Structure 1
Amino acid sequence: MSRIMDSSPEGRQKKLFTPGPLSCTMAVKQAMLHDYGSRDAEFIDIVKDVRQRLLDIAGASPVEWSIVPLQGSGTYCVEAAIHTAVPRDKDARVLVLSNGAYGRRLAQICAAADLSHDVLEFGEAQPYDLAKVERQLSSRAYACVAAVHCETSCGLLNPVEALASSLRARQPGAAFVVDAMSSFGALPVRLDRVHFLVASANKCVQGVPGFGFVLARTQRLAQCAGNARTLSLDLAAQHDEMERSGQFRFTPPTHALLAAQQALRELEAEGGPAARRRRYEHNASLLVAGARELGLRPLLPADALCPVITAFLYPRHARFAFADFYQRLSALGQVIYPGKITSVECFRIGCIGDLYPNDVKHLLKCIGQVLEDMGVPIPVP
């Protein structure tokens, strides 16, 4: 095998094969070279433009829906949505669906806020069992149901649309909060019966970290005024201030919003979410096929794989150590992700961001070299 030299000397960008933060275009990064005051009329127009573009990406009517951006990570927005959706009523209860790390995080959010909640566990990397969900929905009343669309701990897509239909039929009054962090902008979610769809600027939108946002049904959000248990995570108050003045209530992430505006322009120029999904799917198909040739096996069966991120089982070889594998790849300018499944040892490789087929092919070549250098035979037995 021809040698690949260290492609990431100091000052050169590494390729991020991660679910976010991820590799951005130079234009997105250059957009952050401008300074704006949070009260500047020009910046207020930028916030308005970003909100409208996000609505357009979602295919959501501005009459029925609002985009509420919030400073911080995507988890801040998930927490804000749950805090805002659940009434201040001692009988209000949340049903959390969990089949991975981010489902467990929904439960942690409820516990931290002292919200009464039940957790339906389906096992890591196991899709939601809708029959089990329906039995639970028939057993007691819930003020809110929270679920994850793309469980990025393993790359599993959950059937949130079918779940929405079950919820509508059995508990039409319950709020439905969907964590669409790693899917919004590429993998569609029908908005029927969803009340709060949560996402982040630094995933499939291909912006930078700094803010997330909630696509909220405006009428439902208005009914949630006064629910939030915290000041800064009050989505209803944030929405009302934006509608009144166009401004964030507290210091906005100005540069991240500039990056998002450029990233949204690029998403539109690429052909929208459908075109971006096709690119990600091409990346993922090349990755999985090339990894199989090296002897690496995906954690999930082929029909369960999604193009956002793929988990691969550790090679069963005495000379394979993930920490060494990771550092060697990083030295070649290729950054992957450790596993987030507790029941099996695996690592993850993302295919989203400013990545194209040649990037994936180069990564596979680097993986082959690293395995060879570690003394792991190829293909891995």
Structure 2
Amino acid sequence: MSSLRQARKFLFAPCLLPQVERRLSICLPPSIRQYTVSLLNQHQHHKKTKQVSGMISPKVSVSPFTSSNPCYFSSSSNFWTDKRLFTPGPLGVTLNVKQAMLRDVGSRDNEFIECVKFIRHKLIEITGVSKDDFCCVPIQGSGTFAVDAAFQTALPKEGAKVLVIENGSYGKRMVKICESAGIEVHTQSFREDCAVEPEVIEDALQGPVMYDLVAIVHSETSSGVINPVSEVGKIVKENNPETIFLVDAISSFGAVGLDIEESNIDIFVSSANKCLQGVPGFAFVIARNTVMAKCKGNSRSLALDLYDQVTQLDKTNQFRFTPPTHSMLAFKRALEEYEEEGRVKGRSKRYAANRDVLREGMTKLGFQELLDPKVAGYIITSYKYPKDPNFNFPEFYNRLNEKDFVIYPGKVLDADCFRIGTIGDLHPQDMADLLVAVEEVCKDMGIKLPVQY
């Protein structure tokens, strides 16, 4: 029978790769056999230390959490190959996380029910709050789905007023969510290259409007700025203890420390495919039970109703509608790896090391960052476009892509910038390799180094 179930018998057998390939040829068709052998090739390849050459050669050591990188299928060459993703999502995950998806489970099987229970319990534990005070509500879709669901569920259908604090595209997206749902929304805007100023928020909250909910983005991924969530949360509650404080921590949770209780956060949103290094498919909301208890009947959407979702999960540990089974199997393994790496301390240490290598190398090449170091995080970094007449970002991006280095495509800020992510299954050596590729691409495009501004 041609199935991956048979392949698993041989995938980790204690024998040489040629022997495994011969065994697989007995039971698998070429396409599946090719994929299985490619996984073994990835594993063996990434156990070897990469050698770096060229002008940029930072001295780094390869972490024991070696980069395995995601795969994509090339229709032209008909084989699997690697691309390294220097983006804030989708991002690269380890081979073990990918392997966790190579099986099917029923959404109502006991094994999957236990998987859902494990994920909900572990996320509450990682967040550092009590299960008596907070609930974890996973929901199908991207982080934006969870943010949308949080607004839909937390606010009554009529009369609610929201203040969105924004300094980038993801704050602006929250405004659009409110507008689409018919929620009255007010905006306090800041420059996209600056952090939110708490004193300005204090003035805004002392005005004539009483807000039912105040929302802010912790790590504004469009620029890389980290906002002072704790200071803002304190101001919100001092102004009105009944105001709900919502934080989008989608790209920061798991790598940038944030105390939910100390920050007075009522609703906290994040995603599987960010710093916890799962795969896309679902996001989750951590919410105060006292807030969630008041939300029955609020949602304008059936699918995005967090109250109904958590009620069903608490009763049966099952989703209301078809859950992302494979994504959740992968996420369970990702959470285990997160523990092994040392949780937020271990992960932030690696991401910060990635950022240090990137900063040093890009500075040597002459690239200027958009943000002041005082407000910049280590999730993603924005670089200004050089003034060199030969610099063209689409060509720059495509040439890196052809070398299997994927940076963040397109322009989302008012400023002319491109972005490079440092999260996911990336390590200092990967950053060093990227720098070599950036240097080569600049030379191939005729861009003078160091680049000019």
8 Å CA contact 2:142–2:281 kept in 1: the answer is yes
8 Å CA contact 1:97–1:119 kept in 2: the answer is yes
Q: In terms of mean alpha carbon deviation, does 156-165 or 188-197 score higher? A: 188-197
Match for residue 73 of structure 1 among 137, 142, 151: 142
CA RMSD of aligned residues (A): 1.5
Residues in 2 aligned to 1:12 and 1:260: alpha-carbon distance in whole angstroms? 23
Are 1:40 and 2:109 an aligned pair?
Answer: yes
Report the alpha carbon displacement of residue 169 of structure 1 after superposing the two structures with TM: 0.3
- Counting only pairs closer than 5 Å after superposition, residues 314-353 of structure 1 correspond to structure 2 as 314-353=385-424
Match for residue 277 of structure 1 among 348, 351, 359: 348
TM-score, normalised to structure 1's length? 0.96
Query: What is aligned with 1:379?
Result: 450
SS of corresponding position for 2:345: helix
Query: What is aligned with 1:307?
Result: 378
Match for residue 121 of structure 1 among 181, 189, 193: 189
The ranges of structure 1 where at least 4 consecutive aligned residues each deviate by more than 4 angstroms after the TM superposition are 7-10
Identity percentage of aligned residues = 45
8 Å CA contact 1:102–1:153 kept in 2: the answer is yes
8 Å CA contact 2:223–2:413 kept in 1: the answer is no
Q: In terms of mean alpha carbon deviation, does 60-69 or 148-157 score higher? A: 60-69
Report the alpha carbon displacement of residue 340 of structure 1 after superposing the two structures with TM: 4.1
SS of corresponding position for 2:383: strand
SS of corresponding position for 2:111: helix
8 Å CA contact 1:339–1:345 kept in 2: the answer is no
Query: What is aligned with 1:249?
Result: 320
Are 1:177 and 2:238 an aligned pair?
Answer: no
Query: What is aligned with 1:101?
Result: 169
8 Å CA contact 1:147–1:179 kept in 2: the answer is yes
Higher relative contact order (CA 8 A, sep 6+): 1
Are 1:209 and 2:277 an aligned pair?
Answer: no
Residues in 1 aligned to 2:276 and 2:108: alpha-carbon distance in whole angstroms? 25
Residues in 1 aligned to 2:253 and 2:220: alpha-carbon distance in whole angstroms? 13
SS of corresponding position for 2:300: coil
Residues in 2 aligned to 1:14 and 1:284: alpha-carbon distance in whole angstroms? 19
Cα pair distance change 1:2/1:183, threshold 3 Å:
closer
Residues in 2 aligned to 1:150 and 1:254: alpha-carbon distance in whole angstroms? 28
Cα offsets for 1:298-343 (capped at 9, x unmatched):
1001222211000000111000100110011011110001354432
8 Å CA contact 1:157–1:306 kept in 2: the answer is yes
SS of corresponding position for 1:285: helix
8 Å CA contact 2:219–2:225 kept in 1: the answer is yes
Query: What is aligned with 2:126?
Result: 57
Report the alpha carbon displacement of residue 123 of structure 1 after superposing the two structures with TM: 2.1
8 Å CA contact 1:280–1:307 kept in 2: the answer is yes
SS of corresponding position for 1:94: strand
Cα offsets for 1:200-230 (capped at 9, x unmatched):
0000010000000001112211111111111
Gaps of 5+ in 2: 1-52, 56-70
Q: In terms of mean alpha carbon deviation, does 222-231 or 165-174 score higher? A: 222-231
Q: In terms of mean alpha carbon deviation, does 16-25 or 219-228 score higher? A: 219-228
Q: In terms of mean alpha carbon deviation, does 219-228 or 102-111 score higher? A: 219-228
Residues in 2 aligned to 1:237 and 1:293: alpha-carbon distance in whole angstroms? 54
Residues in 1 aligned to 2:154 and 2:358: alpha-carbon distance in whole angstroms? 39
Match of 1:327, as an amino acid? N
Residues in 1 aligned to 2:289 and 2:336: alpha-carbon distance in whole angstroms? 25
8 Å CA contact 1:96–1:145 kept in 2: the answer is yes
Residues in 1 aligned to 2:201 and 2:282: alpha-carbon distance in whole angstroms? 32
Gaps of 5+ in 1: none
SS of corresponding position for 1:209: coil
Match of 1:179, as an amino acid? D
Match of 1:136, as an amino acid? A
Are 1:112 and 2:180 an aligned pair?
Answer: yes
Aligned residues: 377
Query: What is aligned with 2:205?
Result: 137
- Counting only pairs closer than 5 Å after superposition, residues 150-169 of structure 1 correspond to structure 2 as 150-169=219-238
Cα pair distance change 1:85/1:316, threshold 3 Å:
same
Q: In terms of mean alpha carbon deviation, does 338-347 or 56-65 score higher? A: 338-347
Residues in 2 aligned to 1:11 and 1:368: alpha-carbon distance in whole angstroms? 27
8 Å CA contact 2:309–2:319 kept in 1: the answer is yes
TM-score, normalised to structure 2's length? 0.81
Residues in 2 aligned to 1:376 and 1:369: alpha-carbon distance in whole angstroms? 10
SS of corresponding position for 2:310: helix
